[in-house]
Amino acid sequence: MIRKLACIGLLAAALPLLTVAANDKDVLDFTADELRRIMQHGPWPQSWSRDPSNRVSGKREAIDFGEHLFFENRLSGKGTLSCGSCHVPERDWSDGLQRGEGMQTVDRNTPNLVNVRYHRWYGWDGAADSLWSQSIRPSLNEKELASTPQNVAAIVRKDPELSCHYTRTYGKPPTEVKDDEALLVDVGKALAAFQETIVAARTAFDEFRDALERGDRSAAARYSMPAQRGLRIFIGKGNCVSCHNGPRFTNGEFHATGVSFFASKNRVDPGRHEGIRELKASRFNLLGPYNDDPTRATAVGTQHVELVQRNFGEFKVPSLRNAALTGPYMHNGQIGTLREVVRYYSELNVDRLHADGEQLLKPLKLSAQETDDLIVFVESLTDFRTNWKRSTGGEPSCR
């Protein structure tokens, strides 16, 4: 009895402390407007439904086939590289390099592949309008895999394992598909089905957001004070949300941030400007013969996209989920760390801005503490598990 009382006494003594620690003091007083802005970054994961332009999207057999293809060196021109050479699972599906290294060095930084199923445009320039057409691009690009439809089709028809996977996925053997290009597109669609499964898990930020939504302040208080202050800058003074918004922290569109668009001394990377041209000219776009969506509703965006002068030097707004794992940063990998990215925005050179970057960006002149807080916030959007394993361990999985 005495012991029990003593316990209660202790508890009572500790309670005020606990309430303070897990209450107001550790959650900033966000205004109604700030709360509204925070809520629009979730919930996570976002809902998703299979891609109507790809008849094997979401199909188990296609996912297995795609995983196999993703790591298959023989599909490249010289038989030495695969998608997995640049999109390395242990490196958050990127490579850690400034610019991708394929058959040659490419002009751009390798983006990670987490959450690609949610994108609207693919590539830094949006030259592809579907995940499957983006998955065909590197095979044919001479700097990346430098392959040909003939090479890809011949290997899929001949190799027992790939041929078995193809038959399971598409319901007929690849030898029955006489057209090499059509077979290449089917390979792209299986690759897409596999990449649709790469989704980042929930993060410290998501726990915080959902706790605020439930009104659970003690759960919200687990999110560190620097992260909360950084969030306030992100949605407020920093105006980062005008481009990095929604559950993936990107509006999915293209903007100019003053990052140099010179690919080398004498050569420019026109970014979105060239991307639109390439998209319109591609046989693999959603307006073309390979879109499996009979309604063609998926092609509306592509039909309406128009080339305008301001697109020159614009690049896609990257998602900030997992950004802590994906340096170097920007389309050309010119910035090494998140700290340098934040400094870049803080000290922005306005003379370099054009298009709507002029209205949306200004030098933020952040203090040392604000800089640290913003970095802690961006880091809190990261899912730090990098333990993805090949489902078959690389062993043959179809005979």
Using CB under 6 A as the binding rule, whether residue 185 contacts ligand HEC is answered as no
Using CB under 6 A as the binding rule, whether residue 324 contacts ligand HEC is answered as no
Q: Structure tokens of 219?
A: 């759960």
Using CB under 6 A as the binding rule, whether residue 87 contacts ligand HEC is answered as yes
Using CB under 6 A as the binding rule, whether residue 102 contacts ligand HEC is answered as yes
Cα 57–chain centre separation: 18
Query: Positive or negative CA dihedral for 151, 157, 159, 164?
Result: positive
Using CB under 6 A as the binding rule, whether residue 174 contacts ligand HEC is answered as no
State the residue for tokens 């990095």: 244
Q: Structure tokens of 70?
A: 């993703």
- Rounded Cα distance, 144 and 131, in Å: 17
Candidate list 153, 190, 198, 317; residue touching ligand HEC; CB under 6 A: 317
Candidate list 167, 218, 224, 239; residue touching ligand HEC; CB under 6 A: 239
Q: Cβ(112)–Cβ(264) under 8 Å?
A: no
Question: At its nearest, how many Å lie between ligand HEC and the CB of residue 37?
Answer: 13
Using CB under 6 A as the binding rule, whether residue 135 contacts ligand HEC is answered as yes
Using CB under 6 A as the binding rule, whether residue 100 contacts ligand HEC is answered as yes
At how many degrees (to 10) do helices 225-235 and 32-39 cross?
90
Question: At its nearest, how many Å lie between ligand HEC and the CB of residue 60?
Answer: 19
What does the per-residue mask of binding to ligand HEC show for 350-379, with x meaning CB under 6 A? -------x--xx------------x---x-
| Closest CB to ligand HEC among residues 61, 314 | 314
- Rounded Cα distance, 117 and 130, in Å: 9
Could you tell me which of 199, 190, 200 has the C-alpha nearest to residue 59? Answer: 190
Q: Contacts with ligand HEC in 240-259 (CB under 6 A)?
A: 240, 242-244, 255, 257, 259
Q: What is the dihedral of CA 207, 209, 214, 219, to 10 degrees?
A: 40
What does the per-residue mask of binding to ligand HEC show for 12-51, with x meaning CB under 6 A? ----------------------------------------
Which residues are CB-contacts of 265 (< 8 A; sequence separation ≥ 6)? none
- Rounded Cα distance, 291 and 86, in Å: 27
Candidate list 30, 65, 124, 132; residue touching ligand HEC; CB under 6 A: 124
| Closest CB to ligand HEC among residues 229, 255 | 255
Candidate list 56, 156, 330, 398; residue touching ligand HEC; CB under 6 A: 330
| 383 to 70, 134, 200, 313, 378: CA distances (angstroms) | 23, 25, 6, 31, 11
Candidate list 63, 238, 248, 381; residue touching ligand HEC; CB under 6 A: 238
- Rounded Cα distance, 85 and 77, in Å: 14
Q: Which stretch binds ligand HEC (CB under 6 A): 22-30, 199-207, 302-310, 335-343?
A: 335-343
Q: Which stretch binds ligand HEC (CB under 6 A): 138-146, 152-160, 221-229, 277-285?
A: 138-146
| 322 to 113, 123, 229, 373, 382: CA distances (angstroms) | 10, 17, 19, 17, 4
Helix then strand count (H, E) for the chain reads: 16, 4
Using CB under 6 A as the binding rule, whether residue 119 contacts ligand HEC is answered as yes
Binding residues vs ligand HEC (CB under 6 A): 81, 83, 85-87, 100-102, 106, 108, 110-111, 113, 116, 119, 122-125, 131, 134-135, 138-139, 144-145, 191, 195, 238-240, 242-244, 255, 257, 259, 315, 317-318, 320, 323, 326, 329-331, 338, 341-342, 345, 357, 360-361, 374, 378
